């Protein structure tokens, strides 16, 4: 019998005391190995996880989402993870969809599984919806594939991608990492698979750390550097416009 892939879940958290325990408890129903990176929270984020069988790593200062993700990914790789799941701590991702995403990863090994939210426009804040669509165009061009949702944090990364990743996350470019790694993955022959997920924006969660203007500007500059380095990569633009992405309804993967 082929051994099932090992999954480790990474949850970066910064001031998520209102939601973190519910998110982790929900995830524990489906996955045993969970790493929470408390990114210098000033509330009781870490304390809310007391008594739960999870690995909690608390950073003394806030370093941003990308560095928190990167630290968690390295810990997961050291644990021998074959697939690394990431999800947000604010409760917008449905933990009941974890096993469905994991089944998608088993069906599409060595691909980057991305939970796509934009199909449900009514539940998505318009400013973030438009910013995401704008980012999708540029990231699709630079990666040479059509993109359904470039900003979703609900993903499954194959370990082979992270072991060979040469990106350098930083606090200043906190939200750029998740966009740039899509481009990096495509260059390594690891395309995205987009799985339709549900998203809930809770009244009890804190405001998003994502700034549609500032962060999309940083993402656009990053993409511009990639395009210039490849002579504008016109073939990538054509592929992103005329080739459909790999899409799955995760409720049909069983």
Domains for the chain: give ranges and CATH numbers: 7-252 (3.90.550.10)
> Which token pair is 186?
């495509």
Rounded to the nearest 10°, the torsion over CA 7, 188, 236, 124 is 20
pLDDT of residue 141: 98
Task: Read off the pLDDT band of 2 (50, 70, 90).
Answer: very low
* Residue found under tokens 């408890």: 25
Please give the angle made by the CA atoms of 92, 95 and 101, to the nearest 5 degrees: 105
pLDDT average, residue stretch 114-133: 76
| Residue 93 pLDDT exceeds 80 | yes
Instruction: Tell me the whole-structure pTM to 2 decimals.
Output: 0.91
pLDDT of residue 216: 83
> Which token pair is 110?
């060595």
| Residue 254 pLDDT exceeds 60 | no
- Which of these, 235, 64, 210, 76, lies nearest to 150 by C-alpha position? 210
| Residue 50 pLDDT exceeds 90 | yes
Rounded to the nearest 10°, the torsion over CA 125, 130, 133, 134 is -140
Distance CA 97, CA 115 (A): 10
| Residue 142 pLDDT exceeds 70 | yes
pLDDT average, residue stretch 171-180: 82
């Amino acid at each position: 019998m082929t051994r099932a892939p090992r999954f480790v879940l990474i949850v970066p958290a910064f001031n998520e005391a209102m939601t973190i325990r519910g998110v982790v408890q929900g995830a524990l129903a489906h996955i045993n190995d969970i790493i929470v990176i408390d990114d210098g929270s000033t509330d009781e984020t870490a304390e809310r996880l007391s008594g739960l069988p999870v690995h909690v790593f608390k950073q003394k200062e806030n370093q941003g989402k990308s560095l928190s993700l990167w630290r968690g990914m390295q810990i997961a790789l050291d644990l021998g993870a074959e697939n690394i799941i990431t999800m947000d701590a604010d409760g917008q991702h449905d933990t009941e969809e974890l096993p469905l995403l994991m089944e998608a990863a088993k069906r599409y090994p060595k691909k980057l599984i991305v939970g796509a939210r934009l199909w449900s426009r009514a539940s998505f804040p318009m400013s973030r919806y438009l910013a995401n669509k704008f980012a999708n165009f540029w990231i699709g061009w630079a990666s040479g594939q059509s993109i359904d949702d470039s900003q979703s944090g609900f993903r499954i990364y194959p370990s082979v991608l992270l072991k060979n990743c040469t990106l350098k996350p930083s606090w200043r470019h906190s939200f750029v990492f998740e966009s740039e790694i899509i481009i990096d993955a495509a260059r390594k022959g690891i395309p995205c698979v987009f799985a339709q997920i549900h998203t809930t924006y809770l009244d009890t969660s804190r405001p998003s750390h994502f700034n549609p203007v500032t962060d999309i500007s940083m993402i656009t500059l990053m993409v511009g550097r990639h395009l210039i380095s490849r002579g504008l990569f016109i073939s990538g633009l054509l592929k992103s416009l005329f080739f459909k992405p790999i899409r799955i309804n995760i409720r049909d993967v069983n």
